[in-house]
Amino acid sequence: MEAKISGEPVSRDTGVSLYLHAELLPNIRQITLYISLDQNPALKGIRPEIQLSESCKAVTVILPAPFDHASETIKLPARVSDATRRTLNANATQTAPFRPGSTGSSQDYSLRMQIDPHEQALTPREELTDDHVPWTAADMSSSTRIRCYACGTAFLNELRLQELQDHKELEIPPGWVWKDLPSGNWAEMMDFWHCHKPDTHQDDAKDEATAALRIEEANAQVKGYGASSRVEAISSNVLIDVATFLLAESDCVGLKKCNEEEPKSAAKISGQRTLECENCNAVIGMEDPSANGWRLLKTNVSLNTGKNEDPWTTHSTEMIVAAQLLELIERESARRFVVHCGQKNGLLLWVFNPDLRYSNSNPGHTVNDQQAMKVLYQEKEDVDRLLAPEIGQPSPLSVEELELPPMIFQALSDALFSSSQMLPLSARQFNEWQVGLLSRFSREKAT
């Protein structure tokens, strides 16, 4: 059976598809819904029909005959008001119209929907908390284990731990001890305190002042706020920061140091010698001479917490990098970052929205809303010009640097490009910036 649309015969079984994408805009109490249709000549002049569910938490979009077999439904990031139902179709505007002869594109419609005033998604909450960091000490137990993400090789030296526990002169608690490292600006804060601590009174006796100063310096070294204090790996302890696990070399097995004769890009990360899995040669981490230990990258390992028979878990590269960016936002109050891997080329990122709630009909996503960061990005051929501009050239304000291992930088670039292609055509670019999404960790959803 055939039907005529705009004077052209079109088969009812013509393959057409719909794509839906919704973003929550809490500041203006609205949801933006994007509807993308194939750039198919048969769909020229076709306007989708939008239907709101009884619960006001989902929308269904269908096409008129003869394409009424094409429909799509998604759950919205928040409940919308029932009054929205009356104006859904009238408010939909075409943002990316049909372009004859164009390829790899679509025709898009968008509309705004008012959120229900009683919706819990509008409840104020802290934007940046420790909840954005995956795998903290609170998640671990004495029986937590780490292994290679690719082949499953174990990396914690159980024999070494047993030797320490059997040593009568050492008081070693049973199992591994997991500790969170302090914030990245900890050393700066301690240096500031050390340089500005109260002076001794001039009327104090000289010997008393000298004795007090020695006691203070000793306490500073023990408590970690001395000018020369630094973080060091401790045997039987696993120290955790946003992106790595820090261990003593003697506490690690299944790892080998990369051959220094290999090319610099392969043998070193940020000037540090890389560590590889002995079984599959995957890059797992790097040496940290300043901390007398080895750092294992969270992105390249899987972990079993040992709590309630939990399965082995992993976290994506984009989720770990998102946590690093959020930590820098919290620490430095900056939203723009130069991200690179030690090479001349890199990315300029602008974290436009650090806590975005969205949902879409992508087959790789769940039906529930997702939490992400909306990131605007540009590819740069020379990041040094941004970090250290030449004399006389304008210097960008509030730009922070984030250097990543090469494989993580490449995975970040791929994730941004892939998420940009997932967005509707009209939402992929903002002026000279490309738009992407980075999934972020949510402890609430993880539990």
Q: CA 246 to CA 292: how far, in whole Å?
A: 9
Output the six-digit token pair for 2. Answer: 């055939």
> Rounded to whole angstroms, how far apart are CA atoms 359 and 369?
5
pLDDT at 270: 63
User: How many angstroms separate the CA atoms of 237 and 405, rounded?
Assistant: 24
Beta carbons of 406 and 299 less than 8 angstroms apart? no
pLDDT of 173 reads: 74
Beta bridge partners of 139: none
Residues of the chain with pLDDT under 50: 1-13, 98, 100-104, 126-129, 200, 205, 222-223, 225-227, 264-265
Q: How far apart are CA 157 and CA 236, in angstroms?
A: 9
| DSSP secondary structure letter of residue 364 | T
| Nearest-angstrom CA–CA distance, 112 and 24 | 10
Give the CA diameter of the chain.
Answer: 106
For residue range 241-297, list pLDDT tens digits in order. Answer: 999 999 999 999 999 998 755 554 455 666 678 999 999 999 999 999 988 999 999
Position 431, amino acid: N
Per-residue pLDDT, 13: 42
Q: What is the 3-state secondary structure (H, E, C) of 17-76?
A: CEEEEEEEEHHHCEEEEEEEEECCHHHCCCCCEEEECCCCCEEEEECCCCCCCCEEEEEC
Half-sphere exposure of 53 (CA within 13 A, CB side): 14
Whole-number pLDDT of residue 282:
93
Which amino acid, residue 221? Q
Q: Give pLDDT, residue 439.
A: 93
Domains of the chain, earliest start first: 2-122 (2.60.40.790), 135-181+234-313 (2.170.150), 183-230 (no CATH), 317-446 (no CATH)
CA atoms within 13 A on the CB side of 426: 21
Inter-residue contact 337 to 327 (CB < 8 Å): no
Q: What is the pLDDT of residue 12?
A: 41
Backbone φ and ψ of 235, nearest 5°: -60, 140
Q: Where are the beta strands (DSSP E) in 89-144?
A: 93-96, 106-114
What per-residue confidence (pLDDT) applies to 95?
Answer: 77
Q: Burial of 308 by CB count in 10 Å (0-12 exposed, 13-18 middle, 19+ buried)?
A: exposed
Helix (H, G, I), strand (E, B) or coil at 12: coil
**Residue in the block written with tokens 């914030």:** 183
Q: Of 363, 422, 418, 427, whose CA–CA distance to 109 is shortest?
A: 427
pTM of the model: 0.81
Distances (CA, A) of 211 to 191, 204, 206: 22, 11, 9
For residues 376 and 434, the answer to whether their CB atoms sit within 8 Å is yes
